[in-house]
Amino acid sequence: MNKIPKIGCLCEKPTSDYTEYRSSEIGIDHTNGRNAEVTIQQCKLCQRIWIHYFVESENISSSARWYKGIVSKKDRPNITPENAVEFLESLDWYVYGGDFFGGEAAFGEGKLNLD
Ligand SMILES: [Zn+2]
């Protein structure tokens, strides 16, 4: 697996006003009834492409959480809503955040906390 360098771009520590990206939908992951929204976000500042995985339980307040990890142009066509979690968990590092984690974005690795 290739190491992904951290370059200090805003996309690695996104605040709620970070909007410097283009997004396109991949679809919904229905695994375990999660209905997670899977999108591609390309950062306008560094041009890197992220897989963004967002999940929220309607009945539970402050449950919104997201994970995103960098994907290469080569791997991007292989990402589906159903394998996005596996892809993120295979990375060296990803970024996560959302109300569930107190709103601050942070770096993580390994298993995603989803259910
Ligand atoms: Zn960036």
Q: What are phi and psi of 53, to 5 degrees?
A: -120, 115
Q: By the 8 A CB rule, do 41 and 52 touch?
A: yes
In the structure, ligand 1 is a single-atom ion and the residues with CB under 5 Å from it are 9, 11, 43, 45-46
CA of 9 to the centre of ligand 1 (A): 5
Residues of the chain with pLDDT under 70: 1-2
C-alpha of residue 71 to centroid of ligand 1, in Å: 13
The pLDDT of residue 60: 87
Distance in Å from the first CA to the final CA of the chain = 27
Encoded tokens for 49: 């492409």
pLDDT at position 48 is 97
pLDDT at 1: 54
Burial of 84 (0-12, 13-18, 19+ CB in 10 A): buried
The reported pLDDT for the residue numbered 104 is 86
Q: What is the DSSP letter of 108?
A: E
Element (H, E) at 24: strand 21-29
For position 2, what pLDDT does the model report? 63
Q: What pLDDT does residue 50 have?
A: 98
CB atoms inside a 10 Å sphere around CB 61: 10
